[in-house]
Amino acid sequence: MSQGRALQLLFLSVFLFGGVWPVTKYAFAHATPLWFGFTRAALAALSAAVMMAAMGRLRVPRREDWPGLCAIGLLQIGAFFALAHVALSLVPAGRTAILGNVTIFWLVPLSVLLLGEPVSRQRWIAAGLGLAGVGVMMSPWGMDWSAPGAVFGHALLLLASLCWSLAILITRLNPPRTPIADLIPWMFALGALLILPIALWLEPISAGGGVGQGAWLIAGFIGLVAAPIGTWATVEAGRHLNAVLASVGFLMVPLVGLVLATTWLGEPLGWDLILGGGLVVLSVIVAARG
């Protein structure tokens, strides 16, 4: 796959995933976090399976596919969904979009240490600009860290981004032989199976856990459309782009999320978000040219 095509897939995933967190935050008025995450994953598995079956491409993965398949299904989908959805119930949507998608915190040092990937000075500068932008957008100086769940929620988001980063590294080391699109039903099925027992344990239906009628339309759009297409684009971009370029590019996701959280949910827009967003955009430009 050409770098231009991989960049196109990167921006497709940014567009689809950037709006997920503000929309999901809105849906939490009618759903509990883990059950919503399970529903997203289960619907994505169902829609992708139907699509692959209609195309005659639904088949059992080969043995060499399973390392990458398990990495994406269990880490990037299952663990990430569980951690990020619980965090979203504790942290504003804009902050969730930032920390939940900042794989650069982990992916850059891990790719150098574990993959031995060469990183040009220009891309190190891009990574620094991106991290500076994220730090400014997080505006930790203006946050009430004593609020209930604030520290725990942010820790969950950092752990979620670590799971995503590990999934990217594993798929780069053990790329599936089968096209990623053919494996998407199995990836989301694994993720849903991981989340289900956790939801049953922490959000029992008898105690009000579940997805209410007001959240089904949102869950349907995310699960049936955004999640399978966005995941395919994300995995393919991560496989074919330099790890630093990919991780810097994914910083556009929180920027899109912040815009929607501000315009739709009414979360405040200050100088820190404007400056931080500008630094993120600049980092993507620098990385793409490096």
* Per-residue model confidence as pLDDT tens for the chain (290 residues): 677 778 788 888 887 777 777 788 889 889 999 999 999 999 999 989 998 898 888 889 998 999 999 999 999 999 999 998 898 888 776 666 666 666 656 766 777 777 676 667 777 777 777 778 777 766 666 666 666 666 788 788 888 888 988 888 888 888 888 888 889 999 999 999 999 999 999 999 988 899 998 899 999 988 888 878 887 787 777 777 776 667 667 667 767 777 776 776 666 667 776 777 677 667 766 766 65
For residue 187, which amino acid is it?
M
Calpha distance 89→83 (Å, rounded) = 10
Q: CB-based contacts of 125: which residues, under 8 Å, 6+ apart?
A: 286, 290
Q: Which 3 state secondary structure label does DSSP give 31?
A: strand
Nearest to 41 by CA among 239, 262, 272, 227: 227
For residue 20, which amino acid is it?
V
Instruction: Please give the backbone phi and psi of residue 31, each rounded to the nearest 5 degrees, phi first.
Output: -150, 155
Q: Judging by beta carbons within 10 Å of its beta carbon (0-12, 13-18, 19+), is residue 189 exposed, middle or buried?
A: buried
Percent of the chain clearing pLDDT 70 (strictly above):
77
Residue with tokens 């393919």: 236
Calpha distance 81→34 (Å, rounded) = 8
For residue 46, which amino acid is it?
L
Instruction: Please give the backbone phi and psi of residue 116, each rounded to the nearest 5 degrees, phi first.
Output: 65, 30
The pLDDT value recorded for residue 151 is: 76
